[in-house]
Chains A and B, each alone.
Chain A
Amino acid sequence: MTQAPIAKAHVRCELNGQPVEFLADQHMSLLEALREVLDMTGTKEGCNDGNCGACTVTMDGRIVDSCLVLAPEADGRRLETIEGVAPPGGLHPLQQAFLEEAALQCGICTPGFLVAAKALLEREPAADEHRIRHWLAGNLCRCTGYDKIVRAVLRAEAEQPKPRARRSGTA
């Protein structure tokens, strides 16, 4: 307790399309800032060491484990969390597909899976099952055995409007 107090970082970023600014301890993780400072508790803590994916958010469109990102690193970045996945008043096709395919049981990993899957579909709208499984391998789910999650992502992919879809065959 002898170290001198370090000034808090002033962080300005875009969060789910809105500009936000907040103060964070220099060593505070982005996960802690989201949950404790910004009251965005949809992002979950499962391990706090980057191994479960429950805290997945996107930073400038890339998925990151928010427990491994320092809050000050978010300065100037564009963040999206589970709270930003749905359009106002509705559901994202992935969210709808998760409901219809019973792709969640306890639901604690669901926000991380949805954020990660959305990033995949935006990047690769025609990802096949193997690619989906590969992409989601950083997200642990202990309830479902994964199959219904993979089915839900495939279903959302099939139902998502894709102006430049490279898929062939039936939709």
Chain B
Amino acid sequence: MTSKTEPKRKFRVVGTRPIRHDGWDKVLGRAAYGADVKLPGLVHGAVLRSPHAHARIVKIDTAKAEKAPGVLAVMTAADMPVAASQVLDLGEEVTNATYASDRVMARAKAVYNGHPVAAVAAVDLNTALEALTLIDVVYEVLTPVVTIEQAMAPGAPLVHDDLVGDDIGERVEHTNVAEHIRYEVGDPEAGFAEASTIVELECRLSRAHQGYIEPQTATAFWSQDGKLTVWTSTQASFGQRDALAGVLMRPVSSIKVVPMEIGGGFGGKIGIYLEPLAAVLSRKCGRPVKLVMERRAVFDATGPAPGGIVRVKMGVDDKGLITAATADIRYGAGAYPGAQINPASVCVFASYRIANARVDGYDIVINLSKTSAYRAPGAPQATFATETVVDEICRRIGMDPAEFRLLNASKEGDRRVDGPAFPRIGNVEVVEAIKGSAHYRSKLGPASSPAKKRGRGMASGFWQGIGGKSTVTISVNNDGVVSLIEGSVDIGGTRASIAMQAAEVLGIAAEDVHPSVVDTDSIGHTDLTAGSRTTYATGAAAIKAAEQVVEEMKNRAALAWETDAGNVRFEDGVFSNAVAKGQRLTFKELSGKLGATGGQISTTGVVNLRGSGGGSFAAHLVDVEVDTETGKVEILRYTAAQDAGKAVHPAYVEGQMEGGAVQGIGWALNEEYVVGDDGVMQNASFLDYRMPTTLDVPTIETIIVEVPNERHPFGVRGIGETGIVPPMPAISNALRDALGVRLTELPMKPGRIMAALKAQAAS
């Protein structure tokens, strides 16, 4: 495959930094998030959760709670419709719907601590909370399966008695391993035989939470006419509608999901949690019901990223070329299957050209809440192992880490381990950007005290992203301002980045596009805000709608000038008549003439993009200083380079890179689920689940690399996720540089660093 040469396109709006359209509401405190919903007759609900990670539910007695003053409805899984179908149909999809239903409210067994077992709606929150204490649940406590080793041990207790595992296509019964997948290219054993240096590391990673500041929330009103409206904080309004339809066994068109402003998600607000419970409570009491999750429940019972064990082995020849690599990726999915082992397997070696490789991925159920997507789901954990192995190889063979990456970088035409070849990608360019940075060329400098040591580390990362379906409607007002209606929830500035792409086509200012995010009844199907797809795919839909506006505007100009439409030109926001000099109308001027030339214009752009166009690569560089007396790590300097294809709003591209890097720094140094043998998380608060604060991180220096995406009209790539992939290995590599010891377990907290130093001193 040869790379196309891109015509150099000049942009007027794309690449600038206008103020985001929703900014005013957000700095004034006016933006309405999920918990801010107020409705006539609104009542409040609360959820009773299992205190056991694994327990059979013998009996639930709700009689006392139902009679309590102020209580309007009490529900258990018996009020959820899937129970009946569970035994009638054991087909694969229904089994999945059963799991989805089971996850939001336990039926026969509680399979994670915090698993909902009942819910109450009452006149106010305190009455609902009081009523929870009146519900009597009798549990038969079972042995929880907490670790991957426990889950895979012979004779392990089963999280689900009926789980049928898939071992590379073979059915396996009575197992906690839901799936074992394998990818293989070439002959890894032959490749290792050619290697002069082989390094193998086993890395262990804790599960980590997205840490969005806004807890999950849902408000539902189930009207007597059968229509259900749900106001919620979600990344996937259409996905939630479909999931609710499945779990409640209702037609999709009877459900309307109204996406409120969303207070962070990072993948954690895709699935349903409180929505079906609020819906059932509303059906039972005939009033709108609001549920807001407590922070403890957010940690216990929503979907963090999986922890796991990743073993990577890599061999290189005497020139430093990779001859073979293998990976064994084992993730703890939580109580239901789905730990993103497939994207992990695709990403684990994506930064490198490897002719001989094998990747095994294991999706393992354990008695913790079901994990879900978290920014480049699956990739950071697997890449941690690869990038630390690469760093060890560089040290053994005495090669500069940037040179090694440039020598072995995957490029256009190279095959990923799962088979498809990369289109045009920016892997080499991001490594070159780091190599050319002032940071890379700078000296580390002496440590600030004799007990402290400094080190520098580098790592690469990749996320593929997705394409998918998006719809955008544009209506032209007679003052030349256009309204833009979209179904993509705006989680971090995408109203702006989508409006800017429309403005670019229309030749108007970003401010003259007024974007609105609307509910599922008010726009055509739009896939989730995730997978780094929103600016890329919904942007493409906006471009398509805007191009239709331009075509129709040309027809109107032709009418106004009584000429042939083929004579009308449109350039830089001005319509002109090619055969009559002087006949010119700006977009604004022509907008004022639409009423008299056939009426106002409204167009809809619908896209279904096949893939992301190659994904986004990143390379990060970090300097650390470690206190060898306490194990505390300070990040001295941090530089992130990433391929954005074309940065639509560079400030928000930087924002994604900076935010991703800081989440990665948290995962690297502090963040973890401390889980006891009982399967209960012992640090379920922001005090003990220690996310970075302003004081913990320096300025993240960003370098935006632009290698155009051939699949997008402006060359845009999705960039939201990749930034979290390199930080953990970059920091491990910097610690190795500083201390001479290799940290292979996340987080690299002070105690682990001190233990590693002690072991080093003893040996």
Which A residues lie at the B interface, using CB under 8 A?
1, 25, 35, 39-49, 51-52, 54, 81-83, 85-86, 91, 95, 98-102, 104-111, 114, 132-134, 136-150
Distance in angstroms between the alpha carbons of A99 and B18 in the assembled complex: 9
Distance in angstroms between the alpha carbons of A26 and B189 in the assembled complex: 71
* Total inter-chain residue pairs, C-beta < 8 Å: 180
Extra contacts besides A39-B38, A104-B23 (7): CB < 8 Å: A45-B35, A106-B492, A114-B27, A140-B686, A142-B211, A144-B659, A145-B659
Across the interface, which residues of A come within 8 angstroms of B649, CB to CB? 102
B263 touches A41 (CB 8 A): no
Nearest residue in B to A50 (C-beta to C-beta)?
Answer: B687
A51 touches which one: B20, B659, B687 (CB < 8 A)?
A: B687
A108 touches B33 (CB 8 A): yes
B294 touches A142 (CB 8 A): no
B196 within 8 A of A: no
- Residue contacts A-B, CB under 8 angstroms, 7 given: A52-B213, A104-B23, A104-B26, A106-B212, A106-B214, A140-B213, A140-B691
Query: With A1-B130, A81-B29, A106-B264 in contact, is A47–B685 under 8 Å at CB?
Result: yes
B38 touches A108 (CB 8 A): no
Distance in angstroms between the alpha carbons of A109 and B687 in the assembled complex: 17
Distance in angstroms between the alpha carbons of A52 and B654 in the assembled complex: 24
Query: With A25-B126, A81-B29, A95-B27 in contact, is A143–B685 under 8 Å at CB?
Result: no
State how many angstroms separate the Cβ of A55 from the closest Cβ of chain B. 11
Distance in angstroms between the alpha carbons of A106 and B235 in the assembled complex: 12
Binds A, one of B508-516, B563-571, B693-701: B693-701
B651 within 8 A of A: yes
When each residue 672-711 of chain B gets 1 if its CB lies under 8 Å from chain A and 0 otherwise, what string results? 0000000000000111000111110101100000000000
B284 within 8 A of A: no
Query: With A95-B28, A150-B694 in contact, is A51–B685 under 8 Å at CB?
Result: yes
B480 within 8 A of A: no
B492 touches A143 (CB 8 A): yes
Interface of B is mostly: loop
B36 within 8 A of A: yes
How many of chain B's residues have a CB under 8 angstroms from any CB in A?
Answer: 62
A1 touches B68 (CB 8 A): yes
B292 within 8 A of A: yes
When each residue 46-78 of chain B gets 1 if its CB lies under 8 Å from chain A and 0 otherwise, what string results? 000000000000000000000011000000000
A144 touches B655 (CB 8 A): yes
Across the interface, which residues of A come within 8 angstroms of B660, CB to CB? 145
B613 within 8 A of A: no
Nearest residue in A to B25 (C-beta to C-beta)?
Answer: A107
State how many angstroms separate the Cβ of A124 from the closest Cβ of chain B. 16
Distance in angstroms between the alpha carbons of A114 and B31 in the assembled complex: 15
A42 touches B29 (CB 8 A): yes
B697 touches A145 (CB 8 A): yes
B399 within 8 A of A: no
Distance in angstroms between the alpha carbons of A106 and B261 in the assembled complex: 8
Across the interface, which residues of B come within 8 angstroms of A47, CB to CB? 215, 295, 685-686
Across the interface, which residues of B come within 8 angstroms of A145, CB to CB? 655, 658-663, 697, 700
B686 touches A51 (CB 8 A): yes
Nearest residue in B to A45 (C-beta to C-beta)?
Answer: B35
A48 touches B295 (CB 8 A): yes
Distance in angstroms between the alpha carbons of A81 and B30 in the assembled complex: 12
Distance in angstroms between the alpha carbons of A81 and B686 in the assembled complex: 23
